[in-house]
Structure 1
Amino acid sequence: MDTLVFVWNNAASIGHMLVDHVLLVLAGVGCAIVTGVALGIVITLNERLARVVLYTAAMLMTIPSIALFGLLIPVLSLIGQGIGFLPAAIALFLYSQLPILRNTYAAIRNLDPALREAALGMGMTPWQRLYRVEMPIAVPIIMAGVRMAVVMNIGIAAIATYIGAGGLGRLISRGLSQSDPRQLVAGAVIVALLAILADLGLATLQWRLTPQGMRPRRARFLWRRGAPFTSTAVQSAEAR
């Protein structure tokens, strides 16, 4: 009850933290979608390049977030942006690469060869085949990677408060420093709810972007995040 009263009395400031948190995640993941999808398509053309890129992205995921923030601070200090929004957004951008890259690569590489041959027989150019055949089928799998990146980075963005990026992590850090369980619980619960709502919203978008012939039942799809699309396509790509 004390936590609810605290949230009610501080709704305006918590609202500002929530907006900052969402903008930070949107900036990091939004840029990662553009580069990750493009690079994921490119590496389908070269198996050796694909291994290098995917291994590099996997190595970035193993770096603890605090350590990555610490590595970015001296580099960005050269341009006067050592702390704050920019290093946090860059860190989230880097952490988003692996799920988006891997899902894009898996979706394009494991497309039925018969579909490519049919598109070629219809006289489509490589760009037309990519735009009209490959991408519509790959979009659901790519969106599953985007969902993973968003949910993961909503949690990581809370740690970015320690480098002055703001967001909901301020509630958690202040709760720890002031031994105030109200702020600690409020921050943790709001971050968790934000992740759940983002996942459900993106699940709906993923379902709508899926071609009608490939759509699963909606209720089952929403509650089993990524389940319809983490099948043999992703598994075979990981095996590589």
Structure 2
Amino acid sequence: MRFLATILLFCAILVSFVHADTQPSTVVDILESDPRLSMFGEGLRLISELRTELRDETKSFTVFAPTTEAIRRAIAESPHILVEAMKGPCESSLRLLPSSNHFSTSTNLISPSPTPGAMSILARILSTHILPAEILSTQIPEMSARVEQTLSTPIPEGRPRFGTLVGSEHLVISRDGTNIYVQPVGMTYPAARVVVPDIVVKNGVVDIISGVLMPTNLVKEIPEYCYRR
């Protein structure tokens, strides 16, 4: 009997270790393993510096990750906006996004040979979706007035603003009952809704959202290197 109890205890400990090893430990693990986020995760793999930072378990992050469906929809519905945003400040053409037709058969986000400028812009877009702190849905303040997902004007002044990994970009995050909305400050396109909140890991939380958060200053800033060409 004692031998059987010892065997059962050993098996329980072994299973617990195996289970722990297979659990996602960082936000990167979620972003690169969840099939709903395949396009966002693919982009992250290309930006090694950002990926390394998000694997740091001594830091905390909140990632608002758009689904692949949301990214495809954004490209299909507003291709001119995304194409303009993806144009490099110096390059006459920037091979970052493939043609719209490409998205109907593939999840590839990046062209085979993206330019350094394209990679820089991709890093900025990804970083706009990330806060350098863990914010759970229960910490989001309730809105005093109802705001629908179809919001087409900037969220009113006074809403809390959260700084992203892009120093000049901030997000307004509001909760209306069980609905949470996210929108870059200064943008007028519809706010994204959190469809899956609080996927908690060791170094933060991932919230899956219904739309893409485009940086407000992306086309307003010209890097210094452009003037040295």
TM-score (norm 1): 0.23
Choose between structure 1 and 2: higher helix proportion: 1
TM-score (norm 2): 0.24
Choose between structure 1 and 2: higher strand proportion: 2
